[in-house]
Structure 1
Amino acid sequence: MSDTFFGGIEGGASVSTVVITNGNGDILAEIKGDGTNPWILGIKPCLSRVNDLIKEALSKADLNNNIKLNGLGLSLSGCEDAVFCKTIETQLKELYPELTNDVTIVSDTLAPIALACESGGAVIISGTGSNSLLMNPDSSIKRCGGYGHLLGDEGSAYWIAHKSIKICLDHIEDFNYAPNGYSIDKVWKAIKEHLKIETVLDLLGEFYGEKMEKSRIASLCKTLADLANTGDKLSQWLFGEAGKELAKLVQSLYPSAHKLLLKENGGLHVVCVGSVWKSWSLLKEGFISQLEYNKSNRLIVQEFTLVVLDKTVALGGVYLIAKKLNYNFPFDYEHNYKKLFHYVHSH
């Protein structure tokens, strides 16, 4: 099995992670590169980047970069539609026939579940953008979100950053004032320094001009987290609101969960993926308040456990392609994650 090689890619809007493993499950190389969302790049440029990333990873693994992989699993943001995924798979085989013997392409929501949950579970992604999905043991799926910054991305880094900018803009122009009388001074200063602007009019170029870059705006979230951790009330409020949005995703998915998933130790397992979850201490209060506030029967969530991965999501791509090929891969679910938070509804 040492001469068997698999590749896996976690492709976000901003960053991609690539792993190469052998048939024994050993990770031979792990690298990071630019985003691989086919909606943002276009299919052919996206696949060109995929090819380049695999070649780079093979070289890092001290393998001949002309080796043909036994299988490649791509978990890409934007790949929600099965027909769209098949189109990309076909084009990959046509454009790069020597890259891999077989390929599977799925949404970036599926690989985290594959890595942490043997029988199914849920995932909530909150990075540059946001998305969520529930996979049941019978392969039935419930989705919520994943529609990009114009139609969704609630609770994401972009959403938090955009909300901070909008609050400051409205406050400065006396249109709406910051919540609870909070000062905007530190947040507005951080926005200006991050975007390298001086006035509110300079925001036009950031959002409507050629400079508009979703990931650049989203990266403001890290500075806002730092402000929140040092006591800035407006920044803390922003993360509390983001926590509420992420809890709504749990409320959306939970009623569709199979009873076998609900009976697992700790209830439904929800895999948390993305940089925003690193600020769980800032999200937690708003997250819990959303779950406790809405008491309608449809939205009552009885029990679940948030888990975070100890292994790269790209390894989930390897799990997916190995399963597709019925390969005897050493799947090791319980060592791939750790618990973040356990919730039980207070009656």
Structure 2
Amino acid sequence: MVLTSDISSNALLINPDGSTQTCGLGGFLSAMRAAVGVYIARRAIKIIFDEYIHIPIEGIWDLNKEYFKIENREELVVHLYQNFDKSVIGPLCAKLAEAAEKGNRLAQYLFREAGEDLGTMAAALVPKIQPGTLKSNTLNIVGSVGRICRCLKKDFVRVFKRPPYTLRYQFTPS
């Protein structure tokens, strides 16, 4: 089983008989999800506007102002909608990961949410594994998510852990 996140967030299972199963529509197909890093960065930006989760946004707002070289929310709209570019938005995720590791509650919330989503996608495929083929007990997680795995891993594992499987997780940056 492989989780990808560079083009879109998707879980892919390839069984020995060649049958495949997927979970998670690619962001490019559904317009709902994109690469994990882009998704996390967009959520951070959107929360700045919504302020609906009652977690202070100050650190993340400051991070966005510095990253995009802006002063107000109106200037941020251009990056989120009018000139949206994954290659510009996505790298913000690395800055958010640093903030999460330094204890920023909003950044931690964003990574917790993303880790849970990825864990849920992977767990949905476990019952589709052909009986008797789960020998290596390894789930490979590749792509951008590999770079930010320290922030995602705990919640991914918490959601994904499903008896009777005891799996190792191999996070591999692309």
What is the TM-score when the length of structure 2 is the normalising length? 0.86
Aligned length: 172
User: Which of these residues, 98, 103, 119, is aligned with residue 231 of structure 1?
Assistant: 103
Q: What is the CA distance between 1:147 and its match in structure 2?
A: 2.0
More strand by share: 1
The CA distance in 2 between the partners of 1:271 and 1:283, in whole Å, is 14
In structure 1, C-alpha distance between the alignment counterparts of 2:53 and 2:133, rounded to whole Å:
44
Query: Which of 58, 62, 83 does residue 189 from structure 1 map onto?
Result: 62
Q: Please tell me the root mean square deviation across aligned C-alpha atoms, in Å.
A: 2.3
Larger radius of gyration between Structure 1 and Structure 2: 1
Q: In structure 2, which of residues 102, 118, 126 is the aligned counterpart of residue 254 of structure 1?
A: 126
Q: Deviations over 1:313-339 (max 9, x none)?
A: xxxxxxxxxxxxxxxxxxxxxxxxxxx
2:79 corresponds, among 206, 229, 233, to: 206
The CA deviation at 1:195 is 1.9
- Which residue of structure 2 lines up, in the alignment, with residue 272 of structure 1? 141
Counterparts in 2 of 1:219 and 1:146: CA distance versus 1, 3 Å: farther
Which residue number in structure 2 is paired with residue 135 of structure 1? 14
Map Cα deviations across residues 140-161 of structure 1 (whole Å, 9 max, x no partner).
000122421622237x001111
Unaligned 5+ runs, structure 1:
1-121, 293-298, 313-347
CA distance in structure 2 between the aligned counterparts of 1:308 and 1:215, rounded to whole angstroms: 22
With over 3 angstroms needed to count, the CA separation of the structure-2 counterparts of 1:301 and 1:246, relative to structure 1, is farther
Mapped partners of 2:118, 2:164: distance in 1? 13
1:147 match? 26
3-state SS, counterpart of residue 39 of structure 2: helix
In 1, Cα distance between the equivalents of 2:154 and 2:58? Answer: 24
**Which has more helix, going by share of residues?**
2
1:271-295 deviations in whole A, cap 9, x for unaligned? Answer: 1111222332221222233236xxx
The 5-angstrom pairing of residues 15-54 of structure 1 reads none
Code of the aligned partner of 2:74: L
Say if 1:129 and 1:159, in contact at 8 Å, map to a contact too.
no
Q: Do structure 1's residue 158 and structure 2's residue 38 form an aligned pair?
A: yes
Q: Which amino acid aligns with 1:221?
A: C
String of CA shifts for 1:111-143, please: whole Å, max 9, x gaps. Answer: xxxxxxxxxxx1001236322200000000001
2:102 aligned partner, one-letter code: T
TM-score w.r.t. length of structure 1: 0.45
Contact 1:225 1:235 in 2 (8 A): yes
Q: Residues 301 and 188 from structure 1, CA distance in 2 versus in 1: closer, same or farther, beyond 3 angstroms?
A: farther
- Say if 1:144 and 1:301 are closer, same or farther in 2 by CA, change over 3 A: farther
- Residue identity (%): 32
Indicate the structure whose relative CO is greater, using CA pairs within 8 Å and at least 6 residues apart: 2
- 2:90 paired with 1:218: yes
Q: Identify unmatched segments of 5+ residues in structure 2.
A: none
Alignment partner of 1:291 is 2:160: yes
